[in-house]
Structure 1
Amino acid sequence: MLDVREFRAACHAAARRTAGSLVEFRLARRATPSFHQGVIAYRDKTVAVVCDRNAPLTAIAQPRVIEGVDALDSGPLTFLDIPGLHGALETILGHRVLTKADLNAPFQQADWPHIAATDIKYWRPTTVGEALFNFWD
């Protein structure tokens, strides 16, 4: 698990290294979602660095509302590949940042033992991204 302060610092540092600006930090304060977001703005786009709340897993996605009715009705995240940001995060965090291909791959429960079997049985995720970064209750 990544400490929130460490994640926040990594988002700030990665934004600076890639000519972006950290504009918002969205903490998941309730049971859902399963991730926090550091929202980084660039001249031509805004992206979210997402961090799993229970494991050292990080990815890049389109920013999402994480509280309220809009969050629950919004479906799975849309993951992005931003090579410069991926590289900066990996250097700062010291672990691999999951790519769009990793996250859109078919989910195999044996590969992710930290996810509760009861959640898998109930929610039936089809991709790795759905299983790791979700709004399950």
Structure 2
Amino acid sequence: MRLERGATGFWSHGDEPVAETDVTLLRSVCWEAARRIAGRVSESAFAGASSFHALTITSPSKTYDVLCHKNLSVVAFASAPLVPGQPLSGFGDPPPWADDLEVAGFRCLTVEDLRMPMSKVKVTELAEAELTQIRYWRPEVLGDLLFNWWD
């Protein structure tokens, strides 16, 4: 897998700013999905740094934690509760209603994608500030890099 600039959420002072994900679109798609599964949406606001936005969709039968990268249009689903500042303990595959996110332009990552070893991830397009962060934090898998609490 090849990562685009902005994957870590970092850039240097002289670098051109990286585009931000359309959070309004993300919310809209999640609200529509929740409506169809008789659920509701809540948004998590974390104190401190994170590379992602988090929304929770609660249906009568299941809770889904939706993670959307702040700079890339990629989405993951957490399989365990989020603990601010701690590495994410697990990911789940996209639920059936996640097709709506794909139609809206988001890429839904699978568990297999997120567990990809960093040795198989191409980072040649990342800015030097991002490569510095990768060397410092040493993520083992793609999910650790994309969905992080680095500061």
TM-score band by shorter chain is: 0.7 to 0.9
- In 1, are the aligned partners of 2:76 and 2:108 still within 8 Å (CA)? yes
- In 1, are the aligned partners of 2:40 and 2:59 still within 8 Å (CA)? yes
Report how far residue 114 of structure 1 moved: 4.0
Q: Does 1:126 align with 2:140?
A: yes
**Residue number in structure 1 paired with 2:55:** 38
Q: Which has the higher helix share?
A: 1
- In 1, are the aligned partners of 2:73 and 2:105 still within 8 Å (CA)? no
Report how far residue 12 of structure 1 moved: 0.7
**1:39-80 residue CA offsets vs partner (Å, 9 max, x unmatched):** 000223211111111111111113645xxxx512x3224211
Runs of at least 4 residues of structure 1 off by over 3 A?
A: 27-30, 62-65, 111-115
Distance, in Å, in 1 between the alignment partners of 2:126 and 2:32 is 29
- In 2, are the aligned partners of 1:76 and 1:130 still within 8 Å (CA)? yes
**Residue number in structure 1 paired with 2:17:** none
AA of the residue aligned to 1:128: L
Unaligned 5+ segments in structure 1 are: none
Relative to structure 1, the CA distance from residue 64 to residue 83 in structure 2 (aligned partners, 3 Å threshold; closer, same or farther) is: closer
Report how far residue 111 of structure 1 moved: 4.7
Report how far residue 112 of structure 1 moved: 7.3
Report how far residue 82 of structure 1 moved: 3.7
**1:80-107 residue CA offsets vs partner (Å, 9 max, x unmatched):** 114313222212x223211111111112
Pairing 1:1-137 to 2, within 5 Å after superposition: 1-22=20-41, 24-28=42-46, 30=48, 32-62=49-79, 64-65=81-82, 70-72=83-85, 74-91=86-103, 93-107=104-118, 108-111=120-123, 113-114=125-126, 116-137=130-151
Q: Which has the bigger relative contact order, CA under 8 A and spacing at least 6? A: 2
Which deviates the most, 124-133 or 11-20? 11-20
AA of the residue aligned to 1:53: K
Relative to structure 1, the CA distance from residue 135 to residue 41 in structure 2 (aligned partners, 3 Å threshold; closer, same or farther) is: same
Relative to structure 1, the CA distance from residue 130 to residue 84 in structure 2 (aligned partners, 3 Å threshold; closer, same or farther) is: same
Structure label with greater radius of gyration: 2
Unaligned 5+ segments in structure 2 are: 1-19
Percent sequence identity is 35
Number of residue pairs aligned between Structure 1 and Structure 2:
129
- In 2, are the aligned partners of 1:52 and 1:132 still within 8 Å (CA)? yes
